[in-house]
Chain A
Amino acid sequence: MSSVEQKDRKFGVKQYIPIAMIGISIAFIWMGFAKYGFWEDLKGPRPGFFPVIISFALLAASLLALVFSFKEKAPSWPLENWLVPLSVVVIMGTTFIIGLLPSVGLYVLVWLRWFEKCTWRTTLTVFLIIMGIVIGAFVLWLGVPFPKGLILNLIAN
């Protein structure tokens, strides 16, 4: 069996990116012409001028990429990988309640101790290193005012 025959010719994830780009380029072209303007004789190029030209180029590149995508292998998407983005969503959510720093601290502890099954010693060492970097570099040195969350704000008030 040749390598070309092994490729996945079915419609799938690998077509999503070119299709999304086709949609984006059409939307930008339409908005560029209809909302922002392309060219005026007296004023010259309008705000939509440049994005519209680029959108046409994106449309052409996306159509080509779509054609070529049928000759590519479909990528695998290990479910486990999505735990990282999921953990950031959880951090963003808990930030509004307990603040950003406690959220990232809690995340490190939970991730290492319960997900990675690290020993308490390793977990606490990494926790201390991370919190040292965050507090030392970002809080003390850069002076970043991290959000305190609902609970701390209530206590403070």
Chain B
Amino acid sequence: MENLQLLLDGFSVLFTLQNIGVTILGAVLGLIVGAMPGIGSLAGVALLLPLTFKFNPTTAIIMLGALYYSNMYGGAFSAILLNIPGDSPAVMTALDGYPMATQRKRPGQALLTSNMASFIGGTIGMIILTFMGPALADIGLKFGPAEMTALLLVAMTSIGWLVGENPTKGLLLTMFGILLASMGMDTLSGSPRYDFGSIYLLGGIPFTPFVIGVVGFAQVIKLMEERNKKTQVSIEKLTIKGSMITLHDFKRLFFPAVRSGFMGTFVGVLPGAGATTAAFMGYAAQKSFKNEEPLGTGAIEGIAACEAANNGAAAGAFAPLLALGIPGSGTGAVLLGGLMMWGLNPGPLLFTNSPDFAWGLIASLFLANIVTLMIAWGVIPFLIKILSVPTKLMIPIITVVCVVGSYSTSNSMYGVLIMFLSGVLGYVLTKCEYQTAPVLLAFVLAPLLESNMRKAFIISQGSLDIFFQKPISLVFIIILIAIMVFPVVRPLLIRLGLMKRKAS
């Protein structure tokens, strides 16, 4: 009950004209960015980060939270109407959404099913977050430097392991991200480190231009390959009235959405798993239940399962982010970086030291969920126009936002230079099939990891025993070793399996 009271307090923080305004603005921008194929929530949040500098931290993160959250809704629009997922979690939505829109001629109903399921999944996720967040923070309070070090290592390596097909590449980029973050100044002694004599590098690599480059600018360079593709919208007209679903449709979507909402939330809490994994799992689990139509042919149950799961995961991911300071995805890492820029330190003490902020943010997610549902429903008639914006027009728009946004963070061309270099790096990495999310996560978490690791070694006077003496850190270390060893052992196991098959 105490949590509900605190949530109500959060609503009182939220209900200022400015906060409600930015929630609506974030929801609208998130829907537009999410609906446009090829941008995605990560790039969307990164590109809009500079716009929040004018606000106080609570308002700024409320806007980013609403933006991130509504992006999950928007990603489904292009998946349903164009068969092109706006973001990776919407990949599964396209499997049933597109056939329902084109073959069954029910595009409006497919969109509304997706919106309703997103709302249900998100609401479940937020209710669980309300209770789980503070509980996780209480557990986190018992963590010393050794436990935190082990936990951070698990979080960092698991995202490297889970994102992309090659875990070795994920680990490589995780380590690279940590090294980039260690440039500038030693946080404990204050002495310069790896600054290569540059006055600019003395302050380290600035976070916002780095993120805008790695995610936003790299994405624009990649978009060049798609600039001549013409967006074909086969649906001629959409209306709000024509999008209404029947009571029977609602009954079909409700239970899959509730089930997947719960599942998605718990998947979202795990570092590295995120909304995409949740959507895949939600859809896979739905296959084992009775469906009125086979999945993959335009079944309402299929759309509901994956959309509820990915929105549940998006809300669930806030639990470890706020309570332990550990983001579950690249987008979470950008949000965490934003929080740190505004002087807030997410972690076990956040709920105690900054309750206004923590509960205001959770309350804003509830509001964003309702606002996004209404706006998503309201924009249905305009979706065809939004989706018909040619990629070739998006390229100069995003490029200018990248340049101007990165300049505005430092009021110097150094920011633009960092954006440019990290963008080219991000593009080269993506082309070589390296996923950039681990770099962002590692970049953000590196200072926390270093300070905890060094404190642990100071306490133990250089002995590694400290990580094996306490049960919590021991469990994390065992998980870490398993994660590190698996990429090496996996090819050997595959080869062994192949040899056995050949022999038989």
Contact = CB atoms under 8 A, between A and B. Distances in A.
Interface in B410-466: 411, 413, 416-417, 420, 423-424, 427-429, 431-434, 449-450, 453-454, 457-458, 461-462
B195 to A, nearest CB: 11
Interface string B166-194: 10110110011011001000101101011
B252 interface: no
Per DSSP, chain B at the interface is helix
Interface string B202-244: 0000000000000001001110110100000000000000000
Contacts of B396: 107-108, 111-112, 126, 130
A135 to B, nearest CB: 10
Nearest to B408: A144
Given A17-B432, A45-B457, A104 B168 contact: no
A61 B194 contact: no
A1 interface: no
B305 to A, nearest CB: 32
Given A39-B462, A61-B168, A61-B171, A54 B179 contact: yes
A65 B179 contact: no
How many of chain B's residues touch chain A, expressed as a range?
A: 35 or more
A85 B393 CA distance: 17
Given A44-B462, A75-B431, A92-B416, A80 B399 contact: no
Interface stretch (B47-55, B77-85, B333-341): B47-55
B404 interface: yes
B338 to A, nearest CB: 15
A88 B403 contact: yes
Interface residues of A, number: 67
Nearest to A83: B224
B193 A47 contact: yes
A28 B183 CA distance: 10
Interface string A16-39: 011001001100100100001001
B407 A146 contact: yes
Contacts of A65: 166, 168-169, 172
Contact of A104 (B172, B400, B413, B432): B400
A13 interface: yes
Contacts of B399: 84, 87-88, 107
Contacts of A81: 221-222, 224-225, 427
A69 to B, nearest CB: 8
A58 B176 contact: yes
B377 to A, nearest CB: 26
Given A47-B189, A142-B51, A142-B53, A68 B225 contact: no
A122 B227 CA distance: 16
A87 B395 CA distance: 11
Contacts of B182: 50-51, 54
A88 B416 contact: yes
Interface string B28-70: 0000000000000000000000110110000000000000000
Interface of B: 50-51, 53-54, 166, 168-169, 171-172, 175-176, 178-179, 182, 186, 188-189, 191, 193-194, 217, 220-222, 224-225, 227, 392-393, 395-397, 399-405, 407-408, 411, 413, 416-417, 420, 423-424, 427-429, 431-434, 449-450, 453-454, 457-458, 461-462, 487-488, 491
16 contacts: A17-B434, A36-B193, A44-B462, A46-B189, A49-B457, A58-B179, A61-B175, A68-B491, A80-B224, A81-B224, A88-B423, A100-B407, A107-B399, A107-B400, A126-B397, A142-B54
Given A45-B454, A47-B193, 6 more contacts: A17-B172, A21-B172, A25-B179, A36-B186, A87-B399, A116-B227
